[in-house]
Chain A
Amino acid sequence: MFTATTLNRRSYRTQNVARAVFFLMTVTLVIPVLIIIGTLVVKGGPAISWEFLFTEPRDGMTAGGIFPALVGTVWLVAVALLASVPVGVAAALYLSEYAPDNLLTRTINLAIINLAGVPSIVHALFGVGAFVLFFNIGASILAASLTLAVMTLPVVIVATRESLQAVPQAFREACWNMGATRWQTIRKVVLPNSISGILTGVILEVSRTSGETAPIMFTGAAAFVAFLPASVFDQTMAMSYHLYYIATQQTGVPEEIPFGVALVLISIVLMMNAISIAFRVYLRGLKKW
């Protein structure tokens, strides 16, 4: 009675075929990542040198390094974080700790989804219309960073909300029962136990922000600036825009330079991602309750 019937055997064969097909589909999707990284390393690797990383571009960007672009990206990301992390964490705190299940909350959630879904070039238009023109900041690090901040806000909100919600409700109730206010509860128990998860989200945001191009094209990134930025009101070079510019707008650039820029950019991004993933794995192993 329990011997495998023909039918049974056939359905197991079907299952194995299905599994193999799905595996191949997955591999097809992820193999290109490895090929891309491999190619960038092979073709861009030779360009990387101390000089490449720490000097300015020369001879109409056909030689020299990427130092101003690296510094500019650091500025852009740092200012964007300063703007988006407080707002994003506040938004996540509201959604996780205060928001009742009502129309307003549903609207906020919908707005977050849309903020993440609006094309990056539309964010760029918003940055031009709002920050550059209306608030009259002009094309600058500040305008570009604020545009980036609005665009990556959902990353911070979603990651923070997730880590706040991972703190068991019983802990909050225990604090409230002792007469702690909501804020005291958040500050003494909820935040300390979700701060690492929030950090993971912030690192992920750094990764996202440093690679964005469209939002900064018209709000503060410049093809070439001879000096390093001195304040947030300066324009700046940036890694992502630099890659776009030398790959499409500039002729006579030796092949290894754009490959080198792409390699450095992707290294920054993937390194941040790796840190974020490692952090997450580490946290999973860290039991506090």
Chain B
Amino acid sequence: MDPRDAMDRRDLAWYVDRVAQALVFVGGISAIIFILGIFVFVTKEGLDFVLGSLNLGEFFTSIAWRPTSNNPTYGALALMVGTASVTGFAMLFSVPLSLGAALYIGEFATGKTREALKILVEMLAAIPSVVWGFVGMSIMNPLIIETFDVPVGLGVLNAGLILGLMAAPIMTTIAEDALKAVPDTYREAAEALGATRWEVILKVVIPASKNGLLAAVLLGVGRGFGETMAVLMASGHAINLPTSPFDSVRALTATIAAELGDTVYGSSHYGALFTLGIFLFLVTFIVNLTADVVVRGIRKK
């Protein structure tokens, strides 16, 4: 037998490798632990309220969010409508603009222009939400009041515009990725048949990447839905079912941010805010899951 068969023993390097593998594995599953942890701990604090004072009918159909009244009611409808109206308004202009920007950056722009636009989009994404909120209050607010001659400039329009700009980078980036995923051979084949660039985009690129574009929109919606500080500061934060873009509204996220500091630990108000948190968590979870399934759909093809 070869004397070097003695080498077949588990040396330090072997054990170090094992330990490293175990540590790295813990890091790997940490994301799962944290997402479960978020669900568990938010639910834990909200559970008393959910099992006790929560009236589901009231929660989903009443607009009376009066947590501090002597006879508190927890109707979240106005908050949901507030979130939906601001997010909806944001998407109304942000989806077409973002997809258009993705098409321009991905399919038309070249060289320096392309780099510059991408950097600007990144800067858009980098602005902190509290700064956006401040912009809404101090720049947009007077602008809206003056332009439309309305008494208050904080509302659906203001928050929607801010939110649309905030959600645009993620939509642009994901949509551009989806466009990039369309193989160049498709484009070349269509161009060889005499199609213009625009015809290629319209008839080949967009159909081939529509799942990715849909995922981009979903992630944008999720982003808008979950935004807190900017909406809190720019929406006017008034409980209201809006009838015009100038009406003030209050969002789910903003309600938690504005009220949690004033609640007593363990009170029903405290529990109600955590219940809003559970609701937000579940909705964003479903939106993200759907986006992931949609994206996975393209990868399979």
Binding site for B on A (CB under 8 A): 11-12, 14-15, 18-19, 21-23, 25-26, 28-30, 32-34, 36, 39-40, 86-95, 97-99, 104, 107-108, 110-115, 117-126, 128-130, 133-134, 150, 153-154, 157, 181-184, 186, 207-208, 210-214, 217-218, 240-241, 243-244, 247-248, 255, 258-259, 262, 265-266, 269-270, 273, 277
Offer 24 A-B interface pairs, CB within 8 angstroms, sorted by A.
A11-B198, A25-B96, A26-B105, A29-B165, A34-B120, A36-B135, A86-B27, A89-B27, A91-B30, A93-B24, A111-B32, A111-B35, A119-B284, A123-B38, A125-B260, A129-B41, A133-B45, A150-B34, A153-B30, A181-B13, A184-B17, A213-B228, A243-B131, A265-B130
**B289–A110 touching, CB < 8 Å:** yes
Digitize B114-133: 1 where CB-to-A-CB distance is under 8 Å, 0 elsewhere. Answer: 00010111111011111101
Interface size of B by CB at 8 A reads 88
Decide: A247 near B45, CB < 8 A? Known: A184-B17, A218-B260, A273-B122.
no
- The residues of A that contact B21 with a CB separation of less than 8 Å are 98, 182-183
Shortest B221–chain A CB gap in Å is 10
Q: Is B37 a contact partner of A113 (Cβ separation < 8 A)?
A: no
- Name the B residues within 8 Å of A94 (CB-CB): 24-25, 27-28
Contact A125 B24 (CB under 8 A): no
Render B225-255 as a binary contact track against A, CB cut-off 8 A, 1 for contact. Answer: 1111100010000000000000000000100
| Whole-angstrom distance between the Cβ of B105 and the nearest chain A Cβ | 7
The answer to whether A33 and B120 touch across the interface, beta carbons within 8 angstroms, is yes
Knowing that A122-B280, A125-B256 touch, tell me 19 more A-B residue pairs with CB under 8 angstroms: A19-B108, A22-B108, A25-B96, A26-B97, A29-B168, A29-B172, A39-B135, A98-B25, A111-B31, A113-B292, A114-B285, A118-B38, A119-B281, A124-B257, A183-B17, A208-B126, A212-B128, A214-B228, A269-B128
In the complex, what residues of B have CB within 8 A of residue A212's CB? 128-129
Is A99 a contact partner of B28 (Cβ separation < 8 A)?
A: yes
Chain A residues with CB under 8 A of B17? 181-184
Please pick, from B16, B196, B253, the residue contacting A15 in the complex, using a CB distance under 8 A: B196
Question: Please, which residues of chain A bring their CB within 8 A of the CB of B120?
Answer: 30, 33-34
Q: Is the CB of B198 within 8 A of A269?
A: no
| Assembly CA distance A157 to B37 (angstroms) | 18
Known interface pairs A29-B172, A121-B228, A211-B130; A115-B34 also in contact (CB < 8 Å):
yes
Flag if B228 contacts A22 (CB, 8 Å).
no
Given the complex of chains A and B, what is the CA–CA distance between A40 and B21 in angstroms?
49
B107 to chain A, nearest CB (A): 8
Residues from chain A with a CB closer than 8 A to the CB of B291 are 113
| A118 and B284 in contact, given A97-B24, A111-B31 (Cβ under 8 angstroms) | yes
Rounded to whole angstroms, the CA-CA distance of A26 and B114 in the bound complex is 11
Q: What is the CB-to-nearest-CB distance from B157 to chain A, in angstroms, rounded to a whole number?
A: 15
Bound Cα distance A20, B100 (Å): 11
Instruction: Tell me which residues from 62 to 84 in chain B have a Cβ below 8 Å from any Cβ of chain A.
Output: none
Ranked nearest first, the 8 interchain pairs of A and B with the lowest CB-CB distance are A90-B27, A211-B128, A119-B226, A94-B28, A25-B100, A129-B41, A22-B104, A15-B198
Asked whether B150 is an interface residue with its Cβ less than 8 Å from the other chain, the reply is no
Complex Cα distance A108/B44, Å?
23
Q: Shortest distance in angstroms between A246's beta carbon and chain B's nearest beta carbon?
A: 10
With a CB–CB cut-off of 8 A, which chain B residues contact A269? 126-128
